[in-house]
């Protein structure tokens, strides 16, 4: 190999080595206040329970569900693939490492939006990207997906599609036999009260 190329190769190795031995930056990155404000007012940071459910069912590899409820509540019921993180450990190195995974959509939720909103703000300030809130939390998820609602007879086709998706999702999460359909009542034989006609008075003769 020519000498000039050898020099360039050595230079590249030195530069790459420099990357490895440079001291790691210790200061915590914080988002610019203007950028934070713009992110706070942005509605796209909310994901509907239907969308989250759809992504769970599709087994979307880019989805990372972060359940902020208590450990006991998490043990009782958890969404498939969800990770339980307590709000007070949101800024630990392990949690930040988890939330800084590139290419993952981190979706926060608790029972309602209150804790998720606070967690979203703290994590966004710590420069966590692609962070979302499941709008309404687990309460909304349960009311929308698990609880069956009566279908309005005047529902549009898109509403019917949504209902049909929710029914399928309900079966996915709780099983086909566990739907909240009211079981049909066993048929009880109704007693038929026979009202007998009073015997007609015999005619007095023909025409």
Partner 1 sequence: MIGPIISSGIVSPAWDNIFAVIIGMIMGFALESSGFSSSRKIIGTFFGYDFVVVKVFFTAAIVASIGLLYLSYFGLVDYSQLYIQPTFLTSAIVGGIIMGIGFSMGGFCPGTSLAAIGVGRIDGMVFFGGMFIGVFLFSESFSLFEKMYYSGSQGPKMINEVFGISPELFTFFLVLAAVGMFFGAAWVQKKVKKVEY
Residue of 45, 44, 79 whose CA lies nearest to 60: 79
Per rule CB under 8 A, is residue 9 in the interface with partner 1? yes
Per rule CB under 8 A, is residue 129 in the interface with partner 1? yes
Nearest distance from residue 185's CB to partner 1, in Å? Answer: 45
Judged by CB, which is closer to partner 1: 1, or 41? Answer: 1
Among 86-94, 102-110, 133-141, 166-174, the segment contacting partner 1 (CB under 8 A): 102-110
For residue 154, is it left (φ>0), alpha (ψ between -120 and 50) or beta? alpha
Report the DSSP beta bridge partners of residue 84: 67
DSSP string, the chain: --HHHHHHHHHHHHHHHHHHHSPPP-SPP---HHHHHHHHH-GGGEE-HHHHHHHHHTT-TTEEEEE-S-HHHHHH---TT-EE--GGGTTSHHHHHHHT-TT-EEEEE-SSHHHHHHHHHHHHHTT--SEEEETTHHHHHIIIIIS--PPPTT--HHHHHHHHHHHHHHHHHH-GGG--PPPPPPPPPPPP---PPPPPPPPSS--
Per rule CB under 8 A, is residue 22 in the interface with partner 1? yes
Nearest distance from residue 184's CB to partner 1, in Å? Answer: 40
Pick from 3, 15, 190, 202: which binds partner 1 (CB under 8 A)? 15
Among 17-25, 110-118, 142-150, 184-192, the segment contacting partner 1 (CB under 8 A): 17-25
With contacts defined by CB under 8 A, how many residues of the chain interact with partner 1? 21
Judged by CB, which is closer to partner 1: 73, or 129? Answer: 129
Per rule CB under 8 A, is residue 157 in the interface with partner 1? no
Nearest distance from residue 95's CB to partner 1, in Å? Answer: 16
Per rule CB under 8 A, is residue 62 in the interface with partner 1? yes
Per rule CB under 8 A, is residue 155 in the interface with partner 1? no
Nearest distance from residue 80's CB to partner 1, in Å? Answer: 17
Q: How far apart are CA 108 and CA 66, in angstroms?
A: 5
Pick from 61, 77, 114, 159: which binds partner 1 (CB under 8 A)? 61
Residue ranges in contact with partner 1 by CB under 8 A: 1, 5, 9, 12-13, 15-17, 19-20, 22, 25, 61-62, 100-104, 127, 129
């Amino acid at each position: 190999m020519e000498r000039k190329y050898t020099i360039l190769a050595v230079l590249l190795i030195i530069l790459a080595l420099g990357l490895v031995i440079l001291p790691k930056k210790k200061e915590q990155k914080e988002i610019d206040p203007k950028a934070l404000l713009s992110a706070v007012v942005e509605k796209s940071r909310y994901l509907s329970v239907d969308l989250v459910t759809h992504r769970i069912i599709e087994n979307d590899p880019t989805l990372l569900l972060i359940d902020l409820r208590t450990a006991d509540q998490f043990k009782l019921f958890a969404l498939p693939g969800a990770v339980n993180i307590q709000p007070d450990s949101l800024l630990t190195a392990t949690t930040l490492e988890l939330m800084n995974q590139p290419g993952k959509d981190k979706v926060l939720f608790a029972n309602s939006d209150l804790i998720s909103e606070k967690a979203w703000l703290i994590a966004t300030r710590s420069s966590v990207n692609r962070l979302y809130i499941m709008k309404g939390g687990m309460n909304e998820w349960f009311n929308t997906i698990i609880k069956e609602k009566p279908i309005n007879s005047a529902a549009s086709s898109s509403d019917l599609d949504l209902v049909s998706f929710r029914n399928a999702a309900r079966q996915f999460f709780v099983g086909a036999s566990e739907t909240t359909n009211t079981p049909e009542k066993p048929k009880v034989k109704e007693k038929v009260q026979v009202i007998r006609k009073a015997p007609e008075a015999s005619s007095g003769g023909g025409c």
